[in-house]
Structure 1
Amino acid sequence: MPKSNPASWEALEEEVQLEDATGEIAELVLLNDEVNTFDWVIECLVDVCRHTFEQAEQLSLLVHFKGRAVVMTAGYDVLKPMKDALCERGLSAIIETIPV
Structure 2
Amino acid sequence: MSWQFEEEEFVLVEENVEEGKGLVVFNDEVNSFDHVIDTLIKVCKHERIQAEQCTYIIHFNGKCEVKKGTYLDLKPMKEAILDAGINAMIV
TM-score grouping bracket, smaller chain normalisation: 0.7 to 0.9
Partner of 2:88: 93
TM-score, length of structure 2 as denominator length: 0.81
TM-score, length of structure 1 as denominator length: 0.74
Separation (CA, whole Å) in 2 of partners of 1:60 and 1:37 = 10
Q: How many residues align?
A: 76
Pairwise CA distance, 1:24: 1.1
Pairwise CA distance, 1:22: 4.4
Partner of 1:30: 25
Separation (CA, whole Å) in 2 of partners of 1:29 and 1:71 = 6
Separation (CA, whole Å) in 2 of partners of 1:32 and 1:45 = 14
Pairwise CA distance, 1:86: 0.2
Q: Which runs of 5+ in 1 are unaligned?
A: 1-20
Partner of 1:46: 41
Larger Cα Rg: Structure 1 or Structure 2? 2
Any idea what SS the aligned residue of 2:88 has?
Answer: strand
RMSD over aligned CA atoms reads 1.0
Any idea what SS the aligned residue of 1:34 has?
Answer: coil
Letter in 1 for 2:43: V
Partner of 1:56: 51
Separation (CA, whole Å) in 1 of partners of 2:17 and 2:51 = 29
Q: Percent identity?
A: 45
| Structure with greater helix percent | 1
